[in-house]
Amino acid sequence: MEPEPAADSRMKILLVDDTPENLVSLEAALVGLGEDLVMAQSGREALRHLLNDDFAAVLLDVRMPEMDGFETAELIRSRPRSRQIPILFLTGYRNEEHLFRGYDLGAVDFLFKPIVPEVLRSKVAVFVELSRSNAKLRKQADALRKQAEDLHRVEQEVRRLNTSLEARVLERTEELVRSNEELQQFAYIASHDLREPLRTVSIYAQLLAKRYQGRLDGDADQFITFIVQNAERMETLVHDLLDFSRIDVRGMDFFARTSCDSALDDAVGNIRPLVAESGALITRDPLPCVMGDAVQLTRLFQNLLVNSIKYRSSDVPRILVSSRENAEEYLISVKDNGIGIDPQYAEKIFGIFRVLQPRDRSSGSGMGLAICRKIVTRHAGRIWVESALGQGATFYWTIPKKG
């Protein structure tokens, strides 16, 4: 490791001269810099200091007994810790040989005796400043290196988490697909197999009502009525559940270029009595041709229209069917002026058997919108409602342009 002085603290300067008076005058010249001045009276003593401390610069007298300045410089340069320290030689000789030897040993400058204090101070100040900037740069470089290392760790961790997340998502998706298929199968089998015994219960309950109405006591008559009503209700539920589970069973053979206008025509035709009885006014924009299952698109429009009429307010139902498009998909909307839906239920109503009205206000089983969602999803689209209580409701659904 290279010596690394602290960037913001005082820097150390090593003054080396065998004559104590010279050291005193060097100190006097440099004390104004506000740095730490360390003094040594021999090369050996200087090397001892350099072993333990980092210095911003060394001022080295050339002529010293035992080990002169050049020998000392050689040893300073040979040690890794002090290799980079700037050395300023202090000498009385101006001959060239002398200078070359000094520069060869890595001197950064020569100061000739008698030393001029201002010159000494300004030169040393430059080296101290350089050393301080150097320390700052090193500190920043270290911090950057550390950040890069930390990032690399973090990166590894993110990669690891991503991989395990992907694996988990895949696993969950497979599980969901499996359980969805099982559920689908269960719904189909249950509703299909339940129809028969249910039909029998219903027929016998009606028979009971026909034959024994008024011949048993009042309670018995009421019980029979309950049985008949509930058997009918259950038949509707089972029928709708079967319908729901059949949506995905229809193969892709039923997909073809389909006119949404015709699908809407058929839907309106199917519910003509309801439209007539309610006086509903249906307005419509031209609708697009899409790739889809015509029977199911008719069913989709039909369910939405029936709801718009069923959940009407005291006003005559007014329904607007329109269409917009962007580059990828068509957006079709069915807007009504009915009772509206509290936004907190905007998602719930698309669930199986979800109804918001008390039973007596709604004859439905709560499957209508679940069927709508299944149809739209099967066509790779989305369906949602925008509404507020008392403000009417607008149902939107999308369908991709290239099917």
Residues that bind ligand ADP in the complex, under the rule CB under 6 A? 307-308, 311, 336, 338-341, 349, 354-357, 362, 364-370, 393
Evaluate the CA torsion angle 170, 173, 177, 183 in order and state its sign. positive
Which residue of the chain is nearest ligand ADP when measured via CB? 364
What is the nearest approach in angstroms of ligand ADP to the Cβ of residue 370? 6
Residue with tokens 């005796």: 113
What is the nearest approach in angstroms of ligand ADP to the Cβ of residue 277? 17
What is the nearest approach in angstroms of ligand ADP to the Cβ of residue 383? 11
User: With contact defined as beta carbons under 8 Å apart, do 317 and 279 qualify?
Assistant: yes
Beta carbon nearer to ligand ADP, 132 or 335: 335
105 Cβ contact list (under 8 Å, min separation 6): 70, 73, 74, 77, 87
Q: Which residues pair with 290 in a beta bridge?
A: 258
- What's CA 399's distance to the chain center, in Å? 27
Least Cα distance to 85 among 120, 43, 53 occurs for 53
What is the nearest approach in angstroms of ligand ADP to the Cβ of residue 401? 27
Beta carbon nearer to ligand ADP, 33 or 321: 321
What is the nearest approach in angstroms of ligand ADP to the Cβ of residue 239? 12
Neighbour count for residue 386 (Cβ, 10 Å): 15
Beta carbon nearer to ligand ADP, 127 or 301: 301
Beta carbon nearer to ligand ADP, 140 or 363: 363
Beta carbon nearer to ligand ADP, 57 or 305: 305
User: With contact defined as beta carbons under 8 Å apart, do 287 and 321 qualify?
Assistant: yes
Beta carbon nearer to ligand ADP, 100 or 353: 353
Least Cα distance to 322 among 270, 278, 264, 401 occurs for 264
Kindly tell me the burial class for residue 109, based on how many C-beta atoms sit within 10 Å of its own C-beta (0-12, 13-18, 19 or more).
Answer: middle
What is the nearest approach in angstroms of ligand ADP to the Cβ of residue 275? 15
